[in-house]
Amino acid sequence: MRLILVVNHEQQDLDVEPRELLLDVLRERLGLTSVHAACEQGSCGTCTVLVDGVAIRSCLLFAIQAQGREVRTVEDLAADGELHPLQQAFSEHHALQCGFCTPAMLLSALELLEQESVPTRPEIEHTLSGNLCRCTGYTSIVDAVEAAASSIRGSSRTGMKTP
């Protein structure tokens, strides 16, 4: 089957099998290895990507279901060699451990911040609850998302372009 979609702002035109997962197309065909395969049942969240701005589990979506849609992975966050405010905040707040869950955490947080410029801690915790991390407590991750929200709001007020 022919699949046409936009991935990280680039149109992709691929032939896919009807039962091929979006996860496999992103990793194997397009080389976007930030999209991790772990449980392959949608419970761990490591395969999270944004589809039309909504965080979804790419291990639960057939690639063909993304026909004509826009998909974003963590590879899309940094722009012109500059880290996205979320990435910067994760670094500054020590919210990174092994890094396996980090891309999905970043994308889940990005979805929240694009909907809510001043999220509460409970909102952040709820948003991140679908992403499992075995290496760290979630406190530093929640702190990082709060800091990124503040940074993004500050950048918007000063006219600075946010990625």
User: Per-residue confidence of the chain (163 residues) as pLDDT tens digits?
Assistant: 999 999 999 999 999 999 999 999 999 999 999 999 998 888 899 999 999 999 999 999 999 999 999 999 999 999 888 999 999 999 999 998 888 999 999 999 999 999 999 999 999 999 999 899 888 778 999 999 999 999 988 875 433 334 4
The upper half-sphere exposure of residue 11, i.e. CA atoms within 13 Å in the direction of its Cβ, equals 4
Range of the domain at 149: 85-157
Backbone angles phi, psi at 66, to 5 degrees: -95, 10
The length of the chain, given as a count of residues: 163
Same domain, 67 and 131: no
Do 105 and 43 reside in the same domain of the chain?
Answer: no
Structure tokens at 115: 């909907």
Tens of pLDDT, residues 120-136: 999 999 999 989 988 87
Which of these, 112, 40, 48, 45, lies nearest to 74 by C-alpha position?
A: 48
The predicted structure's pLDDT at residue 156? 57
Q: What pTM did the predictor assign?
A: 0.90
| CA dist., res. 146 & res. 83, Å (int) | 16
Q: Are residues 26 and 56 in the same domain?
A: yes
The 10 Å Cβ neighbour count of residue 112 is 19
* Residue 27 within a domain: yes
Is residue 133 domain-shared with residue 70, that is, in the same domain? no
